[in-house]
Amino acid sequence: MCPPDHYDVDYVINPWMEGNIHKSSFDRAREQWQSLYHLIKENAIVDLVTPAKGWPDMVFTANAGLVLDKTVVLSRFYHKERQGEEPYFKTWFESQGFTVHELPKDLPFEGAGDALFDREGRYLWAGYGFRSELDSHPLIAEWLDIEVLSLRLMDERFYHLDTCFCPLTGGYLMYYPPAFDSYSNRLIELRVPPEKRIIVEEPDAINFACNTVNINQTVIMNKASDNLKARLQEAGFTVLETPLTEFLKAGGAAKCLTLRVTEPIIIDRHAVINIESRTVLMEGHLLDAGLINRALDLVIEGGGSFQVLNFNLGEQRQSTSKAEIKISAPSHEVMEEIISQLIDIGVVSLDEDQRDARLQPVEQDGVGPDDFYVSTIYPTEVRVDGQWLTVQNQRMDGAIAISETPNGLVAQCKILRDLKLGERVVVDVVGLRTIRKTESREPRNAPQEFSFMSAGVSSERRVELIVEQVAWELRQIRDRGGKVVVTAGPVVIHTGGAQHLSHLIREGYVQALLGGNAIAVHDMEQSIMGTSLGVDMKQGVAVKGGHRHHLKVINSVRRCGSIAAAVEQGVVKSGIMYECVKNNIPFSLAGSIRDDGPLPDTQMDLIKAQEHYAELLRGADMILMLSSMLHSIGVGNMTPSGVKMVCVDINPAVVTKLSDRGSVESIGVVTDVGLFLSLLVNQLDKLTSKYGVVQVG
């Protein structure tokens, strides 16, 4: 232990210190420390380190280093506020005859604060996420010759492992599960049987109950609830409480104030490192396009850590950069998750370059192997028999199936239900890469959804700018004979957009229409009865008995046998469906549980509906998503990257959801869809008219 002669809260490096600068009482701190010291001395031998002036946190000797037998791994503090303690502790360890190992500079590890032996000495639990770096764990395993189990800390109040995790005599573990990520919790549950787990609730956790000094059957802590005390007594422990409130102000308590230098030692032990590392390569506009930040964030958020081995910064605006990065993860499982996300942003795993993808046979029609690789929207290649195959029918949420054909091996994205016995499916994340164009360096001023949304309210001018851009592209696509698919909800009709969408179809800007029963119903209701869901579209008022209108319409169309027949027979004389029929624009109406009718054309077999959607989407250059969350998301899932998606909805949540696919090509517009369509039609007519402005009605 280290007496609190120079203890104070001088700076803020954890949430407990906030608001507590110079707020602890020197006298009370000394009293509290003395009480703890005497309690421990009744049960163990205590050596003291001489405190050094200017290093107020030196009292927390748990952070001096990690000791096993005569070996110490000296701490490398994360914060410069504590780095000055290192030489004092080093000197002390050396004077006591320990062999001191020092981690490379910039590889933080905060000693026994972040590393706790199970009390039988079988393995070491090591925390990471706030103060200690995951990459320090393999070195510790090696130096101390022990198995290291890495646990990721998630709650900044519990920034050191010893604030929320406490192995006890007899294989017990007292801990606060919400402080860890789910992978770590699973690991804990694998190693510690349920009857040995003493789960601490939040009120105890924030009283630092887990920060307990355990000597044989005695546990010494700041404070415990009656409940926790009972639980500990049941497990055979004597609970001693001693207030340490002055030290809580700095984010520490009993255990932090001590360092155990006599840990139980198992002679026949071995270093076991569960951490996996891989080297990956990134190439492209890593800085300009923000790719490098995105990649490194993904690694950290995913529970891994990284080391940049090489960074070759492109010199000119046009030159690409190249980075080689070593990634570590606490397990194969976590590594796979991280790598698959990195693959999505175009990262190539170097070690994989030489390896084939792992394939497993389909053993039952419509069912993939566990662990199948889930496809994304990005063009993907897979390495089979030493050869990179381009995956066909790219879409997200599918599996990659490899089949033998007369023309050789073929890789294609398939949804699970389409998998066939005899095919092989890619599992794991080995031998896979996605092709991202380097050209897609995002121009800084592109009207991207997020910058757009972050403006809070989408100003009218922004909407106009996007309309201008969309109009330009619609015209380009039409002129080169491309394909635009529209997916629309009934709100298009309710907001008065029917006439504009009809106009777009008539003028050749739309090559396929996707929707549900409702859009067709209300479109034809408007055409036949002048109302949409019973509201008069000219007056804007509800018509008496109007709620029955759409059922009458459904009935009439059913009598005709199909929408096309209703158009041919003159029952439907205008509107969106009318224009589709007249201009031979294919449409697909997918049914749902809430459909009235349905119309004869509505496909109530959802598997068939999905297939029809996919067929109409094939080869699309642009998709206009107009106020239909359901159909738009369905369409989004079927569409590979590279297809421009424009999503218009009055609800920002829908827009965000769709643009969240992370593809640069999507634009979100939060506005009234009727208004948007009217602006769009106006702009298109401006672009195509010889005389400038034209009024459209």
Nearer to ligand ARG, 62 or 620 (CB): 62
4 binds ligand ARG (CB under 6 A): no
Q: Taking phi first (over 0 means left), then psi (-120 to 50 degrees means alpha), and beta for anything else, what does residue 575 get?
A: left
For 200, phi then psi, to 5°, come to -100, 135
Residue 167 as a binder of ligand ARG (CB under 6 A): the answer is no
Considering only the stretches 36-44, 55-63, 387-395, 494-502, report the one whose residues sit in contact with ligand ARG under the rule CB under 6 A. Answer: 55-63
- What is the nearest approach in angstroms of ligand ARG to the Cβ of residue 428? 38
User: How far apart are alpha carbons 24 and 248 in whole angstroms?
Assistant: 9
18 vs 301 by CB, closer to ligand ARG: 18
Q: Which of 14, 150, 663, 683 binds ligand ARG (CB under 6 A)?
A: 14
Q: Which two tokens stand for residue 317?
A: 């605006």
251 binds ligand ARG (CB under 6 A): yes
Nearer to ligand ARG, 261 or 599 (CB): 261
284 belongs to the binding site for ligand ARG (CB under 6 A): no
In the complex with ligand ARG, the residue whose CB is nearer, 208 or 237, is 208
How far apart are alpha carbons 154 and 179 in whole angstroms?
5
CB atoms within 10 A of CB 64: 26
Distance CA 471, CA 494 (A): 23
447 secondary structure, DSSP code: -
| 47 or 189: CB nearest ligand ARG | 47
Q: Which residues lie closer than 8 Å to 492 by C-beta, 6 or more apart?
A: 498, 501, 519, 576, 626, 627, 673, 674, 677
Interaction between residue 588 and ligand ARG (CB under 6 A): no
- Residue closer to ligand ARG (CB basis): 156 or 201: 156
Q: How many CA atoms lie within 13 A of 149 on its CB side?
A: 19
Residue 163 as a binder of ligand ARG (CB under 6 A): the answer is yes
- With vertex at residue 475, the alpha carbon angle to CA 473 and CA 480, rounded to the nearest 5 degrees, is 95
**Smallest distance, ligand ARG to C-beta of residue 67, A:** 14
Residue 458 C-beta: closest distance to ligand ARG, Å: 43
Residue 160 or 503: which CB sits closer to ligand ARG? 160
Catalytic residue among 2, 137, 160, 647: 160
Which residue from 108, 167, 252, 302 is in contact with ligand ARG, where contact means CB under 6 A?
252
Residue 598, preceding bond cis, omega within 30 degrees? Answer: yes
- The CA distance from 453 to 466, in Å, is 13
- Rounded to 5°, the CA angle 416-422-428 comes to 55
- Of 60, 109, 175, 373, which lies in the binding site for ligand ARG, with binding defined by CB under 6 A? 60
| Closest to ligand ARG by CB, 83 or 279 | 83
Residue nearest to ligand ARG (CB): 113
Structure tokens at 604: 């109530």
**Stretch of 44-52, 56-64, 386-394, 658-666 lying at the interface with ligand ARG (CB under 6 A):** 56-64
Q: Binder to ligand ARG among 1, 7, 8, 13 (CB under 6 A)?
A: 13
Q: Which stretch binds ligand ARG (CB under 6 A): 159-167, 238-246, 368-376, 599-607?
A: 159-167
Q: How many residues make contact with ligand ARG (CB under 6 A)?
A: 15
Within 10 angstroms of residue 137's Cβ, the number of other Cβ atoms is: 26
Q: Does 57 bind ligand ARG (CB under 6 A)?
A: yes
648 in Cβ contact with 511 (< 8 Å):
no
DSSP lists the bridge partners of residue 513 as: 486, 587
d(CA 149, CA 275): 9
Instruction: Using CB under 6 A, pick the residue from 250, 295, 335, 347 that binds ligand ARG.
Output: 250
Say which of 256, 413, 580, 647 is annotated catalytic. Answer: 256
- Is 116 among the residues that bind ligand ARG (CB under 6 A)? no
Give the separation between CA 66 and CA 53, rounded to whole angstroms. 23
Letter for the amino acid at 469?
Q
User: Is 160 a known active-site residue?
Assistant: yes
Region of 249-257, 332-340, 517-525, 667-675 interacting with ligand ARG (CB under 6 A): 249-257
Tokens of 109: 């590890």
For tokens 């402005």, the residue is 693
Q: Which two tokens stand for residue 221?
A: 């802590």
CB of 220 to ligand ARG, least distance (A): 15
Binding of residue 256 to ligand ARG (CB under 6 A): yes
Are 516 and 655 a contacting pair, CB within 8 Å? no
Beta carbon nearer to ligand ARG, 63 or 376? 63
Among 152, 160, 383, 500, binds ligand ARG (CB under 6 A): 160
Neighbours of 455 (CB within 10 A): 10
* Binding range to ligand ARG, per CB under 6 A, among 157-165, 305-313, 409-417, 579-587: 157-165
222 is an interface residue for ligand ARG by CB under 6 A: no
Q: Which is nearer to ligand ARG, 110 or 135 (CB)?
A: 110
Q: Between helices 498-506 and 673-688, what is the axis angle to 10°?
A: 30
Q: Which stretch binds ligand ARG (CB under 6 A): 247-255, 419-427, 446-454, 556-564?
A: 247-255
* Count of CB atoms situated within 10 Å of the CB of 243: 15
Output 82 or 229, the one with its CB closest to ligand ARG: 82
Tell me if 75 contacts ligand ARG by CB under 6 A: no
331: closest CA among 181, 208, 481? Answer: 181
The DSSP result for 350-405, as a single string, is: GGGGGSPPEEEE--BTTBPPTTBPPP-SS-EEEEETTEEEEEES--TT-EEEEEEE
Sheet holding 213-215, edge to edge: 213-215, 218-221, 238-241
Among 108, 113, 346, 515, binds ligand ARG (CB under 6 A): 113
In the complex, least distance from residue 305 CB atom to ligand ARG, rounded to whole angstroms: 20
Q: Which of 162, 276, 352, 579 binds ligand ARG (CB under 6 A)?
A: 162
CB 514 within 8 A of CB 631: yes
How many Cβ atoms from other residues are within 10 Å of residue 275's Cβ?
22
Stretch that binds ligand ARG, among 54-62, 85-93, 320-328, 461-469 (CB under 6 A): 54-62
Candidate segments 57-65, 235-243, 349-357, 419-427, binder of ligand ARG by CB under 6 A: 57-65
Annotated catalytic sites, by residue?
160, 256
The residues that touch ligand ARG, with contacts defined as CB under 6 A, are: 13-14, 57, 60, 62-63, 82, 113, 160, 162-163, 250-252, 256
